[in-house]
């Protein structure tokens, strides 16, 4: 009998080549294979007579071939085969593209089960339907799993492999749920769950299986998070002494919000507890998380400890260094910076200062985790936009100290219910107030009919001295995505022709890091009027003078991503505007974009995004994938 650890290449029909393709999907063993769940399902149990077919539905039809198939070639050389199928109620035209063998494999008088999408209102048609001879059905008459695929792997091949995998080792699956837990929540056994998540006997069986597996996943996750918490509490960390935070607050040119004060107080309480702090500060764009970080750095300095502040981009490190110098240098706190773009001499000087205790805080990119970086007494590690770093990158920085306190910051709103699971190993502080004086960004949704008015508005704002962001969903026209989507490079050229009197630049993720930083720095310095970009600016430097954000093909972005993009503006004293440009006509798309127009609350938006798109990859070991 096969073991769960058996390599999939030993499954009949797999072999070395397909095993390598499956590896791209994360499938190397039988356990991986049966744990690779379908992304959706097709209900192929519904069979309709031809006269009852409805255009646009996917359905099974039992019909007889009524005419010998004919074949010819259409312009471009593609073969097309046509035939006609009938039942007692009507006629169905059947068309096959690029399947010339159908001409000789289908014969008049034979009965088939056809499954496909119905086209045409009066004269019904199916194009390239799935079909099986009546009585020899394997892929129709049932609920079929649909898997995410990769090159070299077909639905049929993967479905057959999963079937073999389940037959080989279904009885070997360990049931991680204690019997009393399973019975208390009326959950099915694990082997039933795996069988019916892949090959459900009915919609009800699928729901029973899904409920069991969802419960199991959350049970394992919450148990693991509880164990991590208990281990952290048992380890012991740097016990800091209390200090009067008003000493820090009195030097500020503004009064912190109540939410900022609460976040700082919670972090300080962690740092004096004797247990290593592990806290997430989650706040909407512009809510003032950097002030919370500065207060914690000040507190660490009062306790003779150094701090490390890791940010995802060079230009963000410059921004944070400037902010921290402004807030901390009045206390004699020495702030430095370390990034990969610095010269060898600059890096060496910073590393020597850190090791010798001559720097109190260093702001840097992932260059901070290189082996040559050592600290005199690292007591606090701060990670900005923590989802941009992998788990190992964050852990590598923590290992630079002796159980230092850790603070992670994120402007990516996560629904509170989901945050309890995703960040179960962290204590969470939420900053749900904006600093006084911030004007809400006015958001509207328009279509291409408003293009002339939008261009006039761009010209008007630039004439008043403001700057403009324009975000496009793809980099260039050769991208393998629909051609009706705006590309950053082409749209930048269009805007330069439209506004020859203004300075237009383009930035995207395929540029070298130094070129991206230079482009963004020029925009921040006011040397560019219009910056056309992909989502590379989703997390970026503050440009207080930018007062207009235009997002092309807005329906192509998630709500939380749109909110993040909108957060790039409204950071100065000027009224700011976000224009969502979309020609999408579906009710769902309009409803999604209306959420952005109706609220500026990132947590409400995240809740709406979760309902509409599902949780996505909120929890994982890899850094966020870059666009472009």
- Classify residue 557 as exposed, middle or buried by CB count within 10 Å of its CB (0-12, 13-18, 19+): buried
Rg (CA), the chain: 30
Please tell me the pTM assigned to this model. 0.63
Q: Which residues pair with 309 in a beta bridge?
A: 363, 382
Which residues does residue 336 pair with via DSSP β-bridges, in sequence order? 362
Which whole-number Å values give the CA distances from 461 to 458, 522, 546, in the listed order? Answer: 5, 19, 10
10 Å CB burial of residue 17 (0-12, 13-18, 19+) is exposed
User: What's the token pair of residue 292?
Assistant: 């919370």
**Cα distances (Å, whole numbers) of residue 362 to 299, 322, 368:** 15, 12, 9
pLDDT tens track for 200-257? 999 999 999 999 999 998 888 778 777 766 766 666 678 899 999 999 999 988 889 9
- Tell me which residue has tokens 């492999």: 161
428: CB partners within 8 A, 6+ apart: 279, 280, 282, 419, 420
User: Strand (E) positions, 74-165?
Assistant: 79-87, 90-97, 111-119, 125-127, 130-133, 143-146
Mind giving me the DSSP string for 45-59? --B--GGG--TT-EE
Per-residue exposure over 193-221, b if at least 16 CB sit within 10 Å of its own CB, e if not:
bbbbbbbbeeeebbebbeebbebbeebee
User: First-to-last CA distance in the chain?
Assistant: 46
Longest alpha-carbon distance in the chain: 92
Half-sphere exposure of 277 (CA within 13 A, CB side): 30
Rounded-to-integer distance, Cα 599 and Cα 566, Å:
12
Buried b (16+ CB within 10 A) or exposed e, 330-356: eeebbbbbbbeebeeeebebbbebbee
Q: Distance between CA atoms of 549 and 607, rounded to whole angstroms? A: 23
Structure tokens at 152: 């070299």
Report the C-alpha gap between 182 and 407 in whole angstroms.
Answer: 37
* C-alpha count within 13 angstroms, C-beta hemisphere, residue 349: 7
Report pLDDT for 415: 62
Q: What is the pLDDT of residue 538?
A: 58
Phi-psi region at 26: left, alpha or beta (left = phi > 0; alpha = psi -120 to 50): left
- At 401, give phi and psi (nearest 5°): -125, 180
Contacts of 389 (CB under 8 A, 6+ apart): 310, 312, 366, 383, 623
268-299 burial string, b = 16+ CB within 10 Å, else e?
A: bebbbeebbbbbbbbbbbbbbbbbbbbbbbbb
Low-confidence ranges of the chain (pLDDT < 50): 1, 479-482, 616-628
Give dist(CA 486, CA 489) in Å, integer: 9
Q: What is the pLDDT of residue 422?
A: 60
Q: What is the 3-state secondary structure (H, E, C) of 251-297?
A: CCCCCCCHHHHHHHHHHHHHHCCCCCCEEEEEECCCCCHHHHHHHHH
C-beta separation of 491 from 315 below 8 A: no
Cα 97 to Cα 73: distance, rounded to the nearest angstrom: 10
Beta-strand ranges (E) seen in 66-110 are 70-73, 79-87, 90-97
SS3 content of the chain, % helix, strand, coil (to 5): 40, 20, 40
Residue 341 CA to residue 338 CA, distance in Å, equals 9
Question: Strand, helix or coil at 326?
Answer: helix
Pair 490, 476: CB distance under 8 Å:
yes
- Give residue 428's pLDDT: 82
Contact between 259 and 220 under an 8 Å Cβ cutoff? The reply is no
Instruction: List phi, psi (to 5°) of 102.
Output: -65, -25
Name the residue among 596, 623, 624 with its Cα closest to residue 612. Answer: 596
Tokens 């004096």 locate to: 272
What is the Cα–Cα distance from 458 to 329, expressed in whole angstroms?
A: 40
Residue 300 in 3-state DSSP?
Answer: helix
pLDDT at 623: 38
Find how far residue 321's CA is from the centre of its chain: 28
Token couple for 325 = 């110098």
Query: Judging by beta carbons within 10 Å of its beta carbon (0-12, 13-18, 19+), is residue 540 exposed, middle or buried?
Result: buried
Task: Tell me the two tokens of residue 273.
Answer: 């507890």
CA neighbor of 523 nearest in space, from 501, 502, 546: 546
458 with 530: CB under 8 angstroms? yes
């Amino acid at each position: 009998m096969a073991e769960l650890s058996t390599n999939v290449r030993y499954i009949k029909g797999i072999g070395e080549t397909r095993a390598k393709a499956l590896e791209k999907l994360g499938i190397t063993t039988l356990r991986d294979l049966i744990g690779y769940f379908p992304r959706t399902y097709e209900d192929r149990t519904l069979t309709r007579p031809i006269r009852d077919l409805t255009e646009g539905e996917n359905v099974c039809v039992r019909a007889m071939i009524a005419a010998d198939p004919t074949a010819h070639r259409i312009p471009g050389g593609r073969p097309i085969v046509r035939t006609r199928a009938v039942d007692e109620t009507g006629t169905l035209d059947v068309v096959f593209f690029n399947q010339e063998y159908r001409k000789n494999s289908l014969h008049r008088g034979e009965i088939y089960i056809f499954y496909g999408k119905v086209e045409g209102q009066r004269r019904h048609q199916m194009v390239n339907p799935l079909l099986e001879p009546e009585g020899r059905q394997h892929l129709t008459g049932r609920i079929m799993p649909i898997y995410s695929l990769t090159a070299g792997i077909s639905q049929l091949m993967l479905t057959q492999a999963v079937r073999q995998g389940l037959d080989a080792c279904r009885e070997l699956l360990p049931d991680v749920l204690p019997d009393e837990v399973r019975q208390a929540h009326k959950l099915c056994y694990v082997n039933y769950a795996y069988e019916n998540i892949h090959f459900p006997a009915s919609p009800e069986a699928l729901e029973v299986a899904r409920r069991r597996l969802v419960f199991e996943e959350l049970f394992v996750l919450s148990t693991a998070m509880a164990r991590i918490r208990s281990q952290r509490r048992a380890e012991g960390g740097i016990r800091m002494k209390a200090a009067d935070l008003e000493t820090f607050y009195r030097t500020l040119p503004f009064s912190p919000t109540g939410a900022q004060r609460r976040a700082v107080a919670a972090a300080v309480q962690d740092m004096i507890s004797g247990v290593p702090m592990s806290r997430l500060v989650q706040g909407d764009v512009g809510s003032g998380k950097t002030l919370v970080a500065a207060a914690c750095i000040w507190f660490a300095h009062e306790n003779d400890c150094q701090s490390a502040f890791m940010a995802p981009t060079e230009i963000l490190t410059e921004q944070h260094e400037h902010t921290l110098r402004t807030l901390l240098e009045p206390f004699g706190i020495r702030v430095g910076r370390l990034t990969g773009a610095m010269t060898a001499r600059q890096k060496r000087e910073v590393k020597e200062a850190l090791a010798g205790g001559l720097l109190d805080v260093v702001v840097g990119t992932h260059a901070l985790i290189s082996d040559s970086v050592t600290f005199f007494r690292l007591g606090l590690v701060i990670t900005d936009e923590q989802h941009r770093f992998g788990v190992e990158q964050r852990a590598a920085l923590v290992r630079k100290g002796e159980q230092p306190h850790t603070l992670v910051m994120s402007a990516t709103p996560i629904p509170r219910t989901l945050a309890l699971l995703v960040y179960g190993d962290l204590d969470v502080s939420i900053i749900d107030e904006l600093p006084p004086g911030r004007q809400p960004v006015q958001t509207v949704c328009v279509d291409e009919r408003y293009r002339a008015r939008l261009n006039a508005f761009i010209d008007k704002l630039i004439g008043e001295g403001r700057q403009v962001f324009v975000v496009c969903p793809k980099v260039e026209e050769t991208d393998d995505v629909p051609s009706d989507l705006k590309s950053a490079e082409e749209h930048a050229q269009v805007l330069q022709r439209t506004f020859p009197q203004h300075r237009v630049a383009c930035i995207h993720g395929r540029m070298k890091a130094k070129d991206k930083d230079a482009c963004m720095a020029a925009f921040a310095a006011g040397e560019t009027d219009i910056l056309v970009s992909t989502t590379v600016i989703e997390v970026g430097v503050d440009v207080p003078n930018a007062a207009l954000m235009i997002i092309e093909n807005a329906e192509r972005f998630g709500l939380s991503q749109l909110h993040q993009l909108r957060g790039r503006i409204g950071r100065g004293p000027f009224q700011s505007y976000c224009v969502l440009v979309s020609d999408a006509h579906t009710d769902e798309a309009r409803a999604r974009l209306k959420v952005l127009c109706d609220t500026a609350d990132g947590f409400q938006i995240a809740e709406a995004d979760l309902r509409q798109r599902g949780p996505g990859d909120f929890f994982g070991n890899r850094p966020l994938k870059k666009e472009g």
